[in-house]
């Protein structure tokens, strides 16, 4: 919805008053000063959505199911897409979004481009809408919540080669947010919406190593490029034989060895390749790309070194919210993870694969938060892992670290990699990470 269309609305209701909701309110006060603005937030009570009656338009925050909105609605993401100048690089996937976005942003910034970072990372993009010009680049982290109901942008965007987004990055896709989406099919369809409104002038970057992502290439009219850490392929950035290369129409350009990367974790090689491919398509030089890759060591709360106490090495991977991320985190440390702290909010995720992996891994102690901790343990039991792994159920980070300090051998690793969302005992993943680090300091 364009700003001119918004100005025709007399009464606008903001549904959801989190970070994006507050940014939306400020935006409306600036651009629609004559509109009456209402707020409906679940903190107001069980019947907060009853306020919809009498409003011309709702602006829905991510995470509010569309079927709960009974009046005409849009979203801050759609408002931004319809009104922004410049070109958008949109990144989605189950894991790796924030790391990939940050890498792309740093590469474009290193090349001295006019670049902005927003979405689920950075700030709500409507905050910097009025700073953009035709030469701007906008790197957006886009969740399934934001993508499930994106709308076709104004037609002038397509004629200017500015589809939504101009460069779409589709990372690995596995099950997540099944407490919100009715099934995995709906979740995958929401992710694939990032390709929905591209044009032949746009680009899509697809992770070839995951079927749900790889099979999405037919959904965009744009030029498709690939990412892989398993195979060589044309029109792609891949990691093969210890080297990161871009191959376009049969011509190779080598960037650096994977051993030269500062960022930890084999799974992050996928994110690096995606970022390199996006930066290349945004006309960033190889020199600027390599400068970032040689210095970027990762984001906080992702395989973050959290200290050494009593000979125990602690790592914080609080942003591990799916089982695949926990498996990759343990693999990163090659048989040194002896204690795993996991569990948290229940989202109906399948933990069978995690249980099978843990049953054969170096992990000897599992410290588990409810309620998903119980299902993680049942998956371990089903795989026979209970014969050698001991388990502690805890309800606070203090308890978790007490057990960890007693059960982890000197020189071994205690890893917080929850494979679950943080809600319940913790406010969010950041609160979970901060409590983890605080308890370690107090040992």
Residue 299 has pLDDT above 90, yes or no: no
Dist. CA 186–CA 315, nearest whole Å = 34
Q: Quick one: 51 and 130 in the same domain?
A: no
Residue 164 β-bridge partners: 197
pLDDT band for position 216 (cuts 50, 70, 90): confident
Q: Quick one: 253 and 319 in the same domain?
A: no
Q: Quick one: 353 and 273 in the same domain?
A: no
Residue 384, domain CATH: 3.90.190.20
Q: Is residue 100 a contact partner of residue 274, using CB atoms and an 8 Å limit? A: yes
φ/ψ of residue 416, rounded to 5: -90, 105
CA distances, 206 to each of 233, 302, 335 (Å): 12, 23, 31
Q: Quick one: 200 and 228 in the same domain?
A: yes
Q: Hey, what are 430's tokens?
A: 């950041």
Of 276, 295, 314, which one is at a domain's C-terminal end?
Answer: 295
The SS3 assignment for 158 reads helix
Residues 6+ apart with CB under 8 A from 236: 208, 225, 226, 227, 228, 246, 247, 273, 277
> What is the residue range of 156's domain?
84-295
The SS3 assignment for 279 reads helix
Q: What is the mean pLDDT of residues 228-235?
A: 91
Q: What is the pLDDT of residues 10-61, one digit of tens each?
A: 999 999 998 899 999 999 999 999 999 999 998 888 899 999 988 999 999 9
Q: Quick one: 61 and 101 in the same domain?
A: no
The DSSP annotation for 106-129 comes to HHHHHTT--EEEEETSSB-GGGGG
User: What pTM value is reported for the model?
Assistant: 0.83
Q: Hey, what are 424's tokens?
A: 């319940």
Dist. CA 364–CA 401, nearest whole Å = 15
The DSSP annotation for 394-437 comes to -SSHHHHHHHHHHHSPTT-EEEE--SSB-BTTBSSHHHHHHHHH
Say which residue, 158 or 428, is predicted with more confidence.
428
Residue 49, domain CATH: 3.40.50.720
φ/ψ of residue 278, rounded to 5: -65, -45
pLDDT band for position 178 (cuts 50, 70, 90): very low
Q: Is residue 330 a contact partner of residue 357, using CB atoms and an 8 Å limit? A: yes
Of 295, 329, 355, which one is at a domain's C-terminal end?
Answer: 295
pLDDT of residue 222: 93
Q: Is residue 350 a contact partner of residue 377, using CB atoms and an 8 Å limit? A: no
Q: Hey, what are 28's tokens?
A: 């409306």
**Of how many residues is the chain composed?**
443
Domains: count for the chain = 3
């Amino acid at each position: 919805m364009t700003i001119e269309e918004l100005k025709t609305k007399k009464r606008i209701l903001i549904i959801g008053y989190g970070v994006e909701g507050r940014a939306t309110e400020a935006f409306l006060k600036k651009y629609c000063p004559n509109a009456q603005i209402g707020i409906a937030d679940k903190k107001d009570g069980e019947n907060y959505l009853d306020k919809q009656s009498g409003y011309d338009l709702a602006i829905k925050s991510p995470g509010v199911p569309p079927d709960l909105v009974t009046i005409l609605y849009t979203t801050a993401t759609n408002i931004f897409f319809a009104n922004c100048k410049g070109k958008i690089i949109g990144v989605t996937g189950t894991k790796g979004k924030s790391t990939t976005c940050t890498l792309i942003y740093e590469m474009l910034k290193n090349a001295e481009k006019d670049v902005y970072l927003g979405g689920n990372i950075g700030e709500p993009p409507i905050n910097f809408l009025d700073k953009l010009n035709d030469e701007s680049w906008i790197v957006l982290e886009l969740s399934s919540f934001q993508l499930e109901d994106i709308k076709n942008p104004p037609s002038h965007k397509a004629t200017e080669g500015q589809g939504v987004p101009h460069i779409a990055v589709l990372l690995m896709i596995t099950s997540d947010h099944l407490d919100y989406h009715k099934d995995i099919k709906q979740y995958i369809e929401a992710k694939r919406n990032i390709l929905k409104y591209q044009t032949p002038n746009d680009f899509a970057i697809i992770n070839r190593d995951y079927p749900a992502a790889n099979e999405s290439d037919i959904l965009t009219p744009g030029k498709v490029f690939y990412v892989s850490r398993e195979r060589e392929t044309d029109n792609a950035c891949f990691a093969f034989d210890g080297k990161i290369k871009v191959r376009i129409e049969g011509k190779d350009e080598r960037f650096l060895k994977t051993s030269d990367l500062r960022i930890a974790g084999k799974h992050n090689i996928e994110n690096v390749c995606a970022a390199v491919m996006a930066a290349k398509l945004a006309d960033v030089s190889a020199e600027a790309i390599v400068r970032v890759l040689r210095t970027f060591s990762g984001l906080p709360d992702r395989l973050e070194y959290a200290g050494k106490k009593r000979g125990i090495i602690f790592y914080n991977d609080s942003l591990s919210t799916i089982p695949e991320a926990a498996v990759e985190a343990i693999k990163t440390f090659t048989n040194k993870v002896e204690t795993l702290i996991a569990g948290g909010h229940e989202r109906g995720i399948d933990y069978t694969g995690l249980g099978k992996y843990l049953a054969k891994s170096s992990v000897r102690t599992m410290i588990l938060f409810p309620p998903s901790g119980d299902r993680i343990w049942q998956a371990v039991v089903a795989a026979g892992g209970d014969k050698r792994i001991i388990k502690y159920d805890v309800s606070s980070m203090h308890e978790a670290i007490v057990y960890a300090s007693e059960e982890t051998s000197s020189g071994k690793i205690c890893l917080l990699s929850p494979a679950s969302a943080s809600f319940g005992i913790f406010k969010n993943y950041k609160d979970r990470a901060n409590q983890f680090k605080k308890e370690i300091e107090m040992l």
